[in-house]
Amino acid sequence: MKIDRILLREIRMQLKEPFEISSGVVHDRRVILLTVFSEGLTGWSECVAGEDPSYSYETCETAWFLLTKLMLPQMIGKDLASTEEGVSDTDWIRGHPMAKAALEMALMDLEAKTQKQSLGSMVGGTKQEVEVGVSVGLQPNDLELATKVGAFIEKGYSRIKLKIKPGRDIHMVAKIRELYPDTRIMVDANSAYSLHDMEVLKELDKLGLMMIEQPLAHDDYLDHARLQQEIETPICLDESIRSVNDVKLAAELGSCKIINIKPGRVGGIASSKAIHEYCLKKGMPVWCGGMLESGVGRAHNVAVASLPGFVLPADISESQRYWAEDIVAPEFTIKDGHVQVPTDAGIGVTVLEDLVAKLTVRSAEF
Ligand code: OSB
Ligand code: MG
């Protein structure tokens, strides 16, 4: 893979409706889109960093800086035997797994296209379709939430994730539980609680939830372990997991029983596979989370979620749930609670160049 040219763009995609979680609200998604050109082929990826450092310390600005100043210029002219060889040049950079994931995932798409293979099969995926749930943001009131949840169940999503925060938790979740007794329900706190909230957390524990995602601080493996000892409901870690080393720490301490793998958060596909493999050995279930990706990031997530150890429904909703028009064709759709894993080479979907050009607010070329 000779790297001829690289294009980095930031596009603005308007969400159909704002997405609110305990740490903030997103109206429009600033998507950093990476295109790597090699001998007539193009590899695509997106960076999942957000606008502000509330979910992670990484932001669109930090990722843009790392990619344009430290990571991309060096790639030009290289003739890479593999993605691994390309990303090894960035090993010296401490942290910043979201920026690193963008480079790795674009090279992975390129590598799969070079081999005329789908990304899913190249990474070792075994599924033709992936079971999916839906992540429902905080709503203005319980009635609106109940209506939304009902519509998603009607659509076929196989589990519902409710965003919670202090004051919008026990009663709200209990109501949904009562309305939809047969639906698999989980909650995601995005770090909004501490061990001082033990009473609330123990009440949530009585609601028959599949799991509680990231109740405590992003760096508090010890308190998560203390909490897991007090409750039956499995804890799932999201923000706390940026590498396989974080997973080892959490598993050894007993901080959680389930891992949410977001390829764009853990440094890319190789890291996702390492976590998947470790968790398979430990008997710890994993599933694929989401970061409100465009069709490009979604395609990568679907490929990774086709690995056999991804045994719980993914946060991969259909394109139409987020966008009036996605930037890929075909768009992702759901049928009987599943999303198909693309079979064409690489990410297996075509990027709509004209639409991307229209949405672009800045670009850098190498
Ligand atoms: O915590 O999983 C999260 C979106 C943005 C930031 C953090 C999270 C989320 C989601 C959305 O829950 C999942 C999706 O992409 O649909
Ligand atoms: Mg989460």
Between the CA of 49 and the centroid of ligand 2 the distance, in Å, is: 14
Question: Which of 42, 56, 31 has the alpha carbon at shortest distance from 5?
Answer: 42
Share of the chain above pLDDT 90, in %: 100
pLDDT at 305: 98
- Rounded average pLDDT over 173-197: 98
Residue to mutate (ligand 1; options 190, 291, 317, 323; most atoms within 8 A of CB): 291
Of the pLDDT bands very low, low, confident and very high (cuts 50, 70, 90), residue 30 is very high
Q: Are residues 109 and 131 in the same domain?
A: no
Q: Are residues 139 and 236 in the same domain?
A: yes
Between the CA of 240 and the centroid of ligand 2 the distance, in Å, is: 10
SS3 12: strand
Q: Are residues 323 and 264 in the same domain?
A: yes
Task: Supply the range of the domain harboring residue 102.
Answer: 5-116+351-365
pLDDT at 292: 98
Of the pLDDT bands very low, low, confident and very high (cuts 50, 70, 90), residue 314 is very high
69 carries an active-site annotation:
no
Catalytic pick among 248, 262, 273, 335: 262
CA atoms within 13 A on the CB side of 105: 36
pLDDT digits (tens, 9 = 90+) for 199-256: 999 999 999 999 999 999 999 999 999 999 999 999 999 999 999 999 999 999 999 9
Catalytic pick among 127, 163, 206, 248: 163
CA atoms within 13 A on the CB side of 226: 11
Structure tokens, 186: 């989980």
Between the CA of 114 and the centroid of ligand 2 the distance, in Å, is: 34
Q: Which atom of ligand 1 is nearest to the CA of 137?
A: 12
pLDDT digits (tens, 9 = 90+) for 9-26: 999 999 999 999 999 999
Q: Which atom of ligand 1 is nearest to the CA of 262?
A: 2
Contact by Cβ (8 Å): 307, 292? no
pLDDT digits (tens, 9 = 90+) for 242-293: 999 999 999 999 999 999 999 999 999 999 999 999 999 999 999 999 999 9
Structure tokens, 144: 């609106």
Residues 6+ apart with CB under 8 A from 117: 345
pLDDT at 356: 98
What DSSP designation does 342 have?
A: P
pLDDT at 153: 97
Of the pLDDT bands very low, low, confident and very high (cuts 50, 70, 90), residue 154 is very high
State the residue for tokens 């990722």.
Answer: 63
Contact by Cβ (8 Å): 106, 45? yes
Q: Are residues 235 and 341 in the same domain?
A: yes
Measured in whole angstroms, the distance separating CA 239 from the mean position of its chain's CA atoms is 11
Nearest protein CA to atom 8 of ligand 1, as residue: 291
Between the CA of 348 and the centroid of ligand 1 the distance, in Å, is: 23
Q: Are residues 94 and 176 in the same domain?
A: no
Residue 93 and residue 100: Cα distance in Å, rounded? 9
Q: Are residues 98 and 134 in the same domain?
A: no
CATH of the domain at 254: 3.20.20.120
Residue 185 and residue 172: Cα distance in Å, rounded? 12
Of the pLDDT bands very low, low, confident and very high (cuts 50, 70, 90), residue 299 is very high
Between the CA of 25 and the centroid of ligand 2 the distance, in Å, is: 14
pLDDT at 31: 98
Between the CA of 289 and the centroid of ligand 1 the distance, in Å, is: 7
262 carries an active-site annotation:
yes
Structure tokens, 51: 């606008």
Of the pLDDT bands very low, low, confident and very high (cuts 50, 70, 90), residue 326 is very high
* Tally of structural domains, the chain: 2
Residue 117 and residue 317: Cα distance in Å, rounded? 24
Q: Beta strand pairing status for 24-38 and 41-47?
A: antiparallel
Question: Which of 359, 299, 287 has the alpha carbon at shortest distance from 106?
Answer: 299
Question: Which ligand minimizes its atom distance to the CA of 316?
Answer: 1
Q: What is the pTM for the complete model shown?
A: 0.97
CATH of the domain at 81: 3.30.390.10
pLDDT digits (tens, 9 = 90+) for 46-87: 999 999 999 999 999 999 999 999 999 999 999 999 999 999
Pocket of ligand 1 (CB under 6 A): 21, 55, 135, 188, 190, 238, 289-292, 315, 317
Q: What is the mean pLDDT of the chain?
A: 98
Nearest protein CA to atom 1 of ligand 1, as residue: 190
pLDDT at 66: 98
pLDDT at 33: 98
Of the pLDDT bands very low, low, confident and very high (cuts 50, 70, 90), residue 192 is very high
SS3 250: helix
Q: Are residues 91 and 170 in the same domain?
A: no
Residues 6+ apart with CB under 8 A from 300: 45, 105, 108, 109, 119, 263, 264, 269, 293, 347
Q: Which atom of ligand 1 is nearest to the CA of 214?
A: 1
Radius of gyration of the chain (CA): 20
Question: Which ligand minimizes its atom distance to the CA of 235?
Answer: 2
pLDDT digits (tens, 9 = 90+) for 95-113: 999 999 999 999 999 999 9
Residue to mutate (ligand 1; options 19, 59, 258; most atoms within 8 A of CB): 19
Is the link from the previous residue into 330 a cis peptide, with omega within 30 of 0? yes
Residue 17 and residue 131: Cα distance in Å, rounded? 24
- Rounded average pLDDT over 135-153: 97
pLDDT at 55: 97
Q: Which atom of ligand 1 is nearest to the CA of 317?
A: 16
What DSSP designation does 329 have?
A: E
Of the pLDDT bands very low, low, confident and very high (cuts 50, 70, 90), residue 5 is very high
Nearest protein CA to atom 14 of ligand 1, as residue: 290
pLDDT at 16: 97
Q: Are residues 187 and 111 in the same domain?
A: no
pLDDT at 160: 98
Q: Are residues 11 and 156 in the same domain?
A: no
Structure tokens, 77: 């002219």
Residue 327 and residue 342: Cα distance in Å, rounded? 16
Residue 153 and residue 133: Cα distance in Å, rounded? 9
Structure tokens, 48: 């999942």
Q: Are residues 71 and 211 in the same domain?
A: no
Q: Are residues 274 and 191 in the same domain?
A: yes
pLDDT at 257: 98
Q: Sort residue 337 into left (φ over 0), alpha (ψ -120 to 50) or beta.
A: left
Q: Are residues 152 and 129 in the same domain?
A: yes
